[in-house]
Structure 1
Amino acid sequence: MSTKETILALREELNQHNYNYYVLDKPTISDFEFDTKLKQLQELEDKNPEFFDENSPTVRVGGTVTKNFETIPHEYRMYSLDNSYSKEDLLDWEARCQKILGDVDLEFTCELKYDGASISILYENGRLKRAVTRGDGFQGDDVTNNIRTIKSVPIQLKGDYPEKFEIRGEIILPFAGFEKMNQDLIEIGETPYSNPRNTASGSLKLQNSAEVAKRPLDCLLYTLVGNNLPISNQFEGLQKAREWGFKVPNESKSVKNIDKVFEFINYWDVERHNLPYETDGVVVKINQVQYQEELGYTSKSPRWAMAYKFKAEQVTTVLNSISYQVGRTGSITPVANLEPVQLAGTIVKRASLHNADQIAKLDIRINDTVFVEKGGEIIPKIVGVSLEERKSNSETTTYITNCPECDSELIRIEGEANHYCPNFYGCPPQIIGRIQHYISRKAMDIDGLGGETVALLYNAGLVKNYADLYDLKKEDVVSLERMGDKSAENLIKGIEKSKSIPFESVLYALGIRYVGETVAKKLVKHYKTIDAIASANLMDLVLVDEIGEKIAKSVILFFENENNVAIVNRLKSHNVQFEKVEDLSTAVSDKLEGKIFVVSGVFETYSRDDLKKVIEENGGKVGSSISSKTHYVIAGDNMGPAKLEKASKLGVPIINEYQFNDLINE
């Protein structure tokens, strides 16, 4: 056998042993034998570098150092899940799905909701190509070198896998490994980690992959993503992933109706305490892929999936005081300062009290013994008061009337729960908060500039609004605390680079109330320039897709303010992007300009995503639901009966994919 053949044979054998041990939990050789073979392979690779392979089992030990994790756009967006906290919520969700789909038989896949760090892993020709964190859902960090060190992540697949696809899951730290890590830290006098989830998430961003390799991380996979995948339902996808070599938990189950979903939830609400890792709920998915595609997505979540969260852990502690925070919009948030208490793996010292109405509703007072839980297992909140333990001299909490930062008298807008400080341009937390929002990752994404540095710049009198950032020079900032020559240089370069950030991100960065990422994209797509948005009237704005009256009024108020207009004009003078750059490389024609299409069913010559892409390339728009504004419904096989009925009722023309081709080929 040649050297190359020996190397390839050892790689294949070691990959199989890794799979047996870390996925099947059925090792067939001893650790000593495995280490001996791994050492033999390492020596052969060192002597024969021409046979290097980034997916060799030897990369499992790590050693690659990543100083800066590259930001990578997700080819397929990573959505978050809507949460439910009761059986009634799930029944409402099922009813919403049935209303869209019509009278169809729904099946469900039930999976445990793993408490870890989300990851998306790309495979091409059966080989691990790239691994990216969730990030903001649109883009994440490339952590491929670190993911390769996790033994349960296959680096070479087996079987009838697709040529290219992504698989998504959670990077977790099982209890046993977490406890061992903490015990080792305690023995050397170091502070132990607070909980498995945060430790797993932090591990992905360690710069030295050799350190990641030392941590007993695991990867549990739960969904396949890609075009033309060889599956017809979610549960089949999980089975296929197992066959290809992925670690997919066996607890997942396919069920025929919602009653069986409830049985699954009831069982695991008890049995989850016997699992070797953290889980905080159950994810319920419509099983049939066809119906998933029909239901589609909201701006944040798939309509075809719902997370049922188990009842949160609850503890009692004493409320020592209430402080008030001012947000970038002037919104006042009351915060409970608590006697420190252990809750769901972390020490909790503070909890949100939301607003004055919530304080009054629960009658929360200083020195009360309060019940605290984590909302959605993340944000601590006070859910009640132990009246039996209340002191006789207790006094009702009086909500503040003036801003704690600038002493302006607070206002409360009719119909809203929060109080606001109206001193928009003179209240320091609002000014700092707006600049921090402007530089944030989803907005201008300015490298070298963080929230603390923004506060330093403001306190030093160097910036009073985000337009001032573009007047900064290296010599202005180099003397700031913890800055230094190199950091100052990177900050200035980051600000300069932000001038190429696309218009939709700039519009979001301006911090117009109610204009989030999705709304900003809608406005930019419709109006193309900042001047067109600024001059639009209420009726014009309301007619834009998904823009309601509340958003429209907020946009108008923003551009009626002379200070805002002056700042936008200064940003223009610095060549910040305030015009949509059309991607001419993808535009094919304008034959469908002004036409709205709804796509439904399964097609012979297109995937649904490809069909939507062709519509947009030819100037058309893709609607999520049928309305009187819809120009055509493109119907494939198994079109949803509810959509067929609605289209017929509204008189919307229904065409097939071949008639659609005639439209664009005229």
Structure 2
Amino acid sequence: MVAVDDSAPADNPYVADPPTDFDPVGDIDEAAAREQAESLREAIRYHDHRYYVEADPLIGDRAYDALFSRLQDLETAFDLDADGSPTQRVGGDPLDELPEVEHVAPMRSIDQGGEAADVRAFDERVRGTLDTDTVEYFCEPKFDGLSVEVVYEDGVYQRAATRGDGEVGEDVTENVRTIAAVPHRLRGDYPEYLAVRGEVYIPREAFTAYNRERVERGEDPFANPRNAAAGTLRQLDPSVTAERPLSVFFFGVLDASVDFESHAAMHERFPEWGLRVCDRTAVADGIDAAIDYRDEQLDARDDLDYEIDGVVLKVNDIEDCERLGSTSRAPRWAFAYKFPARKEETTVRDVVVQVGRTGRLTPVALMDPVEVGGVTVSRASLHNPSQVADLGVGIGDRVRIKRAGDVIPEVVEVVESAGDGHFEFPEACPACDSPVERDGPMAFCTGGLTCPAQRERSIEHYASRDALDIEGLGEKAVRQLLDAGLVTDAADLYDLSVEALADLEGWGETSAKNLVEAVEATREPPLADFLTALGIPEVGTVTARNLAREFGTFDEVVAAADRGDVGAFEAVPDVGETVARSIVDFFEGEGNRAVLDRLLDHVDPQAAAQTGGDALDGLTFVFTGSLEGYTRSEAQELIERHGGSATSSVSVNTDYLVCGDNPGRRKRDDAADHGVETLDEGAFEDLLADAGVL
């Protein structure tokens, strides 16, 4: 068993081998509850210190969780004052905005360079100013995270702020409070006042695990740990921050009621006060030793559980630092010696399988961050099971990445194999455990709309602008409705009430009422919009309009599918055998039909209007921006009903670009390049009137 140190709380039963079989909360009185809660708080703070600062835990995770849960139960049952309690790490009430706060002292940048000549020039300037032959440097890793100022008064955590512009930052007090490595109270002989600088980051293993969870929930993974940490720290809802695996290293004093002789002494004192520091620091006697330190960290960077992009060299002696002073931007006593960016080659840490809206399963490699095409990425597509096998990609392999345009990067080659064999593609869907079907090189989940990943994406698609355009029902709202149990599929949207929505976090009566009204407005959708909204694989807006025009009613579409009449669908313009078979398969799926039957209890798709002639025959239109008198689909349907064509992009074959409010610049530029006539909504209606359409 790990030994208890001298700083452990005396006579506390929850420190070593703590009991976890507690009496029911209802069986103890308030006095006993208060006494037990205080002992638990004291013990949990000690265990936090052993885990996060000393990296030497005394108890296991299950025992810790049991103590923490008991403390939460006591505070809730007896309404105990939890100010400063470890339980406050679960997050407080959401904020309307992050207010600005002025730093106690400037949080300056650091001069930097990536060549040995740069750091030698820095050393020469320092030695010249100090008039000495050799300078002692305190060397530490340069963490790739987000800098924060954290303030303690009388040992108690007061506030935290981001760096911002160096003078003023964002107040992230409640979010930083949720980080387990940040003590709510200092330990030992701490100063009365202390403002420290730290770097918030997400550990590599935790980042990979969290990305895996996001992918398995059908969410996009974070691009890289630094962006994830920065976005997490700036959340308006502290409970969101609390759910994410943030940690911190402390490395500097901004202001304090105590003096230090050196940066090394400062680094030694921090753990005594409960502040976590990095253990990969060193004191270098002269610049050559400092450069050797940098080279050692460069060799070790891939084995660390946190991202570093260089090292920081600081003149160790504090009095010498004061003599050197600072510019308005950076101290003259510190220099960041940057590593070269990782380019194109990196290590695969995990492979996860993402479930798309149509059930397609896509393997995604989660990797150490690497610079590709000027962008730092930490995930890359493996496309399909066949590519995984062809490449022989396995976890731990070193791979080469390429990135074309703005699309997700892809793995193109295994440079060095870890020797454990390639990733084995699952035979069951990771989201719903339904069997996986292969279609050539691709794989699909057979669960249909019963699959939670497909269900979430299908609801988002159902509400999207190209489908039924339900305003206020984006990705975040859909996930919230699913998590709250208010919806399980698109049919449940029609049973939502203002009262149930208004009770959700972040909602009010007005937003709830707006969503209910937006859903109500879709009860009689145009047939083409409804077919698009169903999310039938291979059926987009153009194909849906063609199906609506050819079949006329939804009943006719279903009847053809029930007959398995692939030929009837192939007779529709631009529908080939693959798309036709996809339509029939969709309606044959039991889960899909169950959701569809429930939808039809609420929704009555309107028959497509019959053709109005060929007044617009041969004319091709493209729309951009929002029209006042029509929805996008209504305008397109009107064009096609009278013999014209509506496409999504401008080309040499386009006759008119119709611009509504807030039109896209790209389409307007393309129209100018191709000499395509541009119409506003009024001119568009004039053209229709001249053609006898209106």
TM-score by length of 2: 0.45
- Whichever of the two has the greater Rg, that structure is 2
Higher relative contact order (CA 8 A, sep 6+): 1
